[in-house]
Amino acid sequence: MAERELPTLGFGTANIGNLLGVLSDDEAWAVLDAAWEAGIRYFDTAPHYGLGLAERRLGAFLRGKPREDYVVSTKAGRLLEPDPTWDGQALDLGDSYHVPASLVRRWDFTAVGIRRSLEASLDRLGLDRVDILYLHDPEGTGDLEGALATGVPAVQALKHEGAVQAVGLGSMTTRALELGADAGLDLLMVAGRLTLADQPAAARVVPTCAGKGTRIVAASVFNSGVLATDDPDADALYQYGSVPSAVLEKARRIAGVCRDFGVPLPAAALQYPRRFDPVAAVVTGTGDPDQLRQNVAHASREIPEELWAALVAEGLIP
């Protein structure tokens, strides 16, 4: 996939899969419509997001849109299968999705499993192809190296066949990202590990990607919420959990520097990953159309170089 074909700002669909709360079909449609009207043409999804709900909603929205006008990525590694023990009422709250727990996720990074996952995703999306296929959270299997030993050749084979245009790996875990960078995949989706608050991927992942020509898509740039407002709050989320006191203190210091330069903290958070050469795109998600439009505005806001220099001088970023 040529770089010009990957828009620099994408929309992540976890929220329209009912992550952390319920959206109706109409509300999910409104968010997607706001993204389209704001010019977003890259949409990232996964079977994991709402047990397929995000893929179904995204596919319904894109139906009728010219296929050459947008880029879609999805993920593989978790197969969705019927849960024979489901009581008809339980929700998937263990994974923070407010959807019926009628399906279970089963880890599978074999060639057969990856192919089955892609075929099921295409069926839910109602598409004949996706542009990018990521291996999703291989560390979750408990055997990271084993998952990559089968998963990397599997996605590369699908690319060779022309089933997808580009392949990669997405993870919140630095070790998985390091091994993904070593594998020389087309793309890495770096989730929460290359942000204003937390940059462990800067040490080895970024230079390895630069050397191999692997592009990075930065996701979870707000670290689940602590960087999403101008005044980081103790009740904010960090990686879908409580924010550690040290992270909160750092976020507040960063917010103070941003205020000194008249720059909203979320704008700096959205733009920071693009300062690393291999980063080709930033993906962010929300369940609120107004927040989405604000994110788009933040992504294009002019930020003085002096702000970044001040953050470096304060020891807040490398």
- Whether 278 maps to a domain, the answer reads yes
What contacts 56, CB < 8 A, 6 or more positions away? Answer: 124, 125
pLDDT of 210 > 90? The answer is yes
Looking at 49, 97, 238, 272, which residue is catalytic?
49
Residue 222 · residue 228 · CB < 8 Å: yes
pLDDT (tens digit per residue) in 7-54: 999 999 999 999 999 999 999 999 999 999 999 999 999 999 999 999
* Inter-CA distances, 182 with 152, 185, 188, 207, Å: 11, 8, 11, 11
Query: Mean pLDDT for the chain?
Result: 96
Q: How many residues does the chain have?
A: 318
- pLDDT for 4: 44
Task: With CA atoms as reference, report the closest residue to 46 among 83, 1, 13.
Answer: 13
Where does the pLDDT of residue 1 fall: very low under 50, low under 70, confident under 90, or very high at 90 and above? low
For residue 5, name the pLDDT band (cuts at 50, 70, 90): confident
For the segment 59-84, the average pLDDT, to the nearest whole number, is 97
Whether 318 is covered by a domain: the verdict is: no
How far, in Å, are 11, 22, 286 from residue 27 at the CA level? Answer: 15, 9, 11
Q: Are 44 and 53 in contact (CB under 8 A)?
A: no
Higher pLDDT, 96 or 241: 96
Position 302 in a domain: yes
The residue with greater pLDDT, 50 or 224, is 50
Is a pLDDT exceeding 90 seen at residue 229?
yes
What local confidence, expressed as pLDDT, does residue 121 receive? 98
Point out the least confidently predicted range of 43-57, 107-121, 178-192, 234-248: 234-248
Question: Is the pLDDT assigned to residue 88 strictly greater than 60?
Answer: yes
Cβ count near 239 (within 10 Å): 18
**Among the listed residues 50, 59, 46, the one whose alpha carbon sits nearest the alpha carbon of residue 20:** 50
Q: How far is the C-alpha of 143 from the C-alpha of 130, rounded, in Å?
A: 27
Mean pLDDT, residues 291-318: 97
Active site residue 42: no
Residue 244: alpha-carbon gap to chain centroid: 22
Does residue 266 sit within a domain? Answer: yes
Indicate the pLDDT class of residue 237, thresholds 50, 70 and 90. confident
Count CB neighbours of 21 within 10 A: 10
Number of domains present in the structure of the chain: 1
pLDDT bin (cut points 50, 70, 90) of residue 2 is: very low
What is the domain-level CATH number for residue 192?
A: 3.20.20.100
Q: Is 295 exposed, middle or buried (0-12, 13-18, 19+ CB in 10 A)?
A: buried
Give the residue numbers spanning the domain of 242.
3-313
Percentage of the chain surpassing pLDDT 90?
95
